[in-house]
Structure 1
Amino acid sequence: MPTDTPQPAFVLVRPQMGENIGAAARAMWNFGLDRMRITSPRDGWPNQKAVAMASGAGRLLDEAILCDSTAQAVEDCTYVYATTARQRDLTKPVFTPEAAMIDARDRIAAGGKVAVLFGPERAGLENEDIVRANAIISVPVNPDFPSLNLGQCVLLTGYEWRRATQEAAPQTMQAADDWASRTEIEKLGDHYEQRLEEAGFFFPDHKSDSMKLNLRNLWSRMPFTQADVRMLHGIMRQMVRWKERGD
């Protein structure tokens, strides 16, 4: 059974290769999507090549809804997006994948039923398919090579759906349970400053204070673990021993 998570249906329109259907299923499940609909697959259905390619996402293929036409695939939907890389002579709103999935999220939250159309591998959706959509999703690809594989397009759209519905910080720091304290970092700075002073690093004299300040600022700017601090102490001690042996 499909999950209870509200989400759009992904409609594969006249897909040609079983491998690409399987890749699309795998891409969908990567991002928690499991509402697949398929219209008129060229190589018939079920398709063992699709099953092999889907790997752990074979359940999506078992539960996929097989349709005779695009009209049938979206007949219960209140809003439909059509993915295309080509310019069309059809007046419709055009979204990036990111904006489309934010819009889809809001429509589904308001009680709507949403679908996204993905065209066959050779030439994409026909205008007869696109006229059944309310809006277009256009991926900002290289204009000299705009073609996207079916699985790639599904993956990209699924990723944007996940981003739109799952809060995720754009940058995080992997958790550590041994962050260095300010005292440990201060002692590391003292160690380096002392040894560098002995080596004549802070030269000329009139720049010495600013060089030491910059070095202290470097230590404070970096997130150190206790293991990092121990390693840096060890590096400096070994360098001093090596220098003394050389003398």
Structure 2
Amino acid sequence: MTFWTYILRCSDGSYYTGHTDDLERRVGQHQAGEIQGYTQTRRPVALMWSQEFPSRQEALASEMQVKDWSRKKKEALFRGDWDGVSEAARKVSRYGVSTGSTPTRDEREVEVASGGERSRNTFPSTTPPPVIVLVRPQLGENIGKAARAMLNFGLADLRLVAPRDGWPNPAAGPAASGADIVLERAQLFDTVADAVADCAQVYATTVRKRGVTKPVVKPDEAATAIHAGPGRSAILFGPERSGLETDDVAVARTIITVPINPEFGSLNLAQAVILVAYEWSKHQDLAQPPETELPEPAPQEELDGMIGQLDAMLVHANFYFPPARTETTRRTLRTLLTKPGWSTQEVRTLRGILSALDGAKMRRNSAAPIESGEFVRDRDLDEPLP
């Protein structure tokens, strides 16, 4: 199966980046306003660039990388100007790959000509994804698992503050299970202050306030604020053993905490990251499993045919007994087969059907076969089964 990452130019001059498994259909949906969100009020749109990938994971990773590029870098990409793309890249990570996708202000703002002057209009929907900051993480495996959790929900900007075992860490790659783009773009910092210096809002995740008086919100409330607020946000996660220290929390403006069992409030690092990343992703246009249309109900004629066929089998199996209850039992069967929500009596009836078809109610004697109309209870129940 093929997947695409694509960029659309909107009617206001801004760019929208996404990914899909059906490029033509998705662009048509954007053009028709069928996709709620950013492009719905900025039509018509035009496809500027697309690239194929063999897996959804690779397409999503490309989307998260390209969507944070500056306008200059995106427009160089449209032209196929690879020198221009390289020139727009700003620095190289410790893994040796470009991190020039770190967003700049012109990525979040659109210049609009107005009366001979150029003014900037900021659109809340273009607020960049938050930065995930792991403060003094201890194990490379946990860094990899956190990267995997991030990419699952569309986040790719990972920053590491003084990891205990240094960086790069060979144990991180296998634990990331394919989220290599996150590890490749990860940036290393000596202090929390350095890691969040370019962020307009900083959140600290902790289950304890640690003596710091700050606003406290749940992950869903933080996600809403991040999408609504201007500028880039950072979310701090502490080391595995003890969590964030008081001085780390003091750097943040807001605390994120999760309602949790007070008798067991321990989350591992990747679990904490995935909780926050998931809440943020609910505001995004991430791909969902395709909806499968249910088949139309069968015509009544076909349903009656099935019931008639079953009824004939039950007559042959001598199911209906006593004869005086035959019509009541048939009515119960029809009701059972034409509505959902089985009652106890309906279940018992169905089990009787299954027993009859299985032969449990029919103790046959090969030397003395049951005659027409004779029911098993009229026979000697001690006779051996054939």
Of 240, 245, 253, which aligns to 1:121? Answer: 240
Q: Quick check: 1:17–1:43 contact (8 Å CA) kept in 2? A: yes
Q: 1:4 aligns with which of 55, 60, 67?
A: 67
Per mean C-alpha deviation after superposition, the further-off stretch among 179-188 and 189-198 is 189-198
- Other structure's SS at 2:150 match: helix
Answer whether contact 1:36 1:60 (CA < 8 A) is retained: yes
Q: What displacement does 1:11 show?
A: 0.5
1:165 partnered with 2:303: no
Q: CA deviation at 1:158?
A: 1.6
The counterpart of 2:140, out of the listed 11, 18, 23, is 18
Determine if contact 1:3/1:34 at 8 Å carries over to the other structure: no
Task: Find the aligned partners of 2:297 and 2:331 in 1 and give their Cα distance.
Answer: 21
What per-residue deviation string (whole Å, max 9, x for no partner) do you get for residues 204-223 of structure 1?
A: 97x949x947963763438x
Residues 43-77 of structure 1 show CA distances to partners (whole Å, capped at 9, x for unaligned) of 11111111232231122112111111111111111
Q: Counterpart of 1:181 in structure 2: which amino acid?
A: A
Q: 1:11 to 1:217 in 2, by over 3 A?
A: same
Conserved 8 A contact 2:201-2:232: yes
Tell me how far apart the structure 2 counterparts of residues 77 and 185 of structure 1 sit (CA, whole Å).
Answer: 64
Query: Relative to structure 1, is the Cα distance of residues 138 and 168 closer, same or farther in structure 2, using a 3 angstrom cutoff?
Result: farther
With CA pairs under 8 Å and 6+ residues apart, which has the higher RCO, 1 or 2?
Answer: 1
Does structure 1 residue 56 correspond to structure 2 residue 178? yes
Normalised by the size of structure 1, how large is the TM-score? 0.75
Which one has the bigger strand percentage? 2
Query: How do 1:23-62 residues align onto structure 2 when only pairs under 5 Å count?
Result: 23-62=145-184
Paired residue type of 1:37? R
Task: Flag structure 2 segments of 5+ consecutive residues without an equivalent.
Answer: 1-61, 69-127, 342-349, 365-369, 371-386
Quote the residue 2:222 is aligned against: 100
Number of aligned pairs? 229
Give the alignment of 1:81-100 within 5 angstroms.
81-100=203-222
Give the match for residue 252 of structure 2.
133
Distance 1:196 1:94, change over 3 A: farther
CA RMSD of aligned residues (A): 3.7
Structure 2 counterparts to residues 223-242 of structure 1, below 5 A: 239=357
Q: Deviations over 1:175-217 (max 9, x none)?
A: 2564442424455456667877984489997x949x9479637
Once the two structures are TM-superposed, the CA of residue 245 in structure 1 deviates from its matched residue by 8.5
Structure 1 residues not aligned, in runs of 5+? 223-231
User: How many angstroms apart in 2 are the aligned matches of 1:212 and 1:48?
Assistant: 69
More helix by share: 1
Percent same amino acid among aligned pairs?
42
Instruction: Look up the equivalent residue of 1:143 and give its one-letter code.
Output: P
For 2:253 and 2:142, the matched residues in 1 are separated by: 26
Shift of 1:148: 0.9
Contact 2:154–2:286 (CA under 8 A) maintained in structure 1: no
1:130, distance to aligned residue in structure 2 (A): 1.0
The answer on whether the counterparts of 2:146 and 2:270 sit within 8 Å (CA) in structure 1 is yes
